[in-house]
């Protein structure tokens, strides 16, 4: 799986002008299931993100996780993270099939919640508008195939 994790002051996702998910201080996680991913992959990624120490401690060091600060996560599916950019028009053939992608997206969100992180989500496959205030800015890219 691939994820872009952003440390945020706040974030929200809307579909057809209606907010369907939001969080305050915490993480915006854009996530994509790739071909060959499974539930175990989604659970490993969720555990890694729950423990990711990217929040500042009292010494102003990035040393705290989203759980440590009592933060939350907004999880949004984004198949475009699978983009193949060999040419000028991206291809997405390495993304998981939609039904698999949806299942793994939902499993990832549930696994992150099981790690003790309050989670809200977007709507898989919908045309979503995502707004956020990136804190830092801090943005981390994770690919389970390489990490």
Q: What angle do CA 99, 108, 79 make, to 5 degrees?
A: 50
For residue 59, report the phi and psi dihedrals to the nearest 5 degrees: -90, 10
> Is residue 116 a contact partner of residue 54, using CB atoms and an 8 Å limit?
no
Q: Answer yes or no: 80 catalytic.
A: yes
> Given 6, 41, 78, 121, which residue is catalytic?
78
Q: Answer yes or no: 6 catalytic.
A: no
To the nearest 10°, report the CA torsion of 99, 103, 101, 80: 130
- HSE-CB of 131 using CA atoms within 13 angstroms: 11
Q: Name which of 103, 107, 141, 111 is nearest 5 in CA terms.
A: 141
> Given 79, 100, 108, 133, which residue is catalytic?
79
> Is residue 115 a contact partner of residue 65, using CB atoms and an 8 Å limit?
no
Q: Answer yes or no: 79 catalytic.
A: yes
The tokens of 133 are what? 């205030």
Catalytically active residues, by annotation = 78-80
């Amino acid at each position: 799986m691939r994820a872009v994790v952003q440390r945020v002051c706040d974030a929200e996702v809307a579909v057809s002008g209606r907010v369907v998910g939001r969080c305050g201080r915490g993480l915006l996680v854009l996530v994509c299931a790739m071909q060959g991913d499974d539930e175990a992959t989604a659970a490993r990624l969720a555990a890694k993100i729950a423990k990711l120490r990217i929040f500042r401690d009292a010494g102003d060091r990035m040393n705290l996780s989203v759980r440590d600060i009592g933060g939350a996560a907004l999880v949004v599916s984004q198949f475009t993270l699978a983009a193949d950019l060999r040419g000028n028009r991206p291809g997405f053939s390495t993304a998981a099939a939609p039904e698999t992608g949806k299942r793994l997206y939902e499993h990832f969100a549930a696994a992150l919640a099981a790690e003790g992180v309050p989670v809200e989500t977007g709507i898989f496959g919908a045309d979503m508008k995502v707004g956020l205030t990136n804190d830092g800015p801090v943005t981390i890219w994770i690919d389970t195939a390489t990490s």
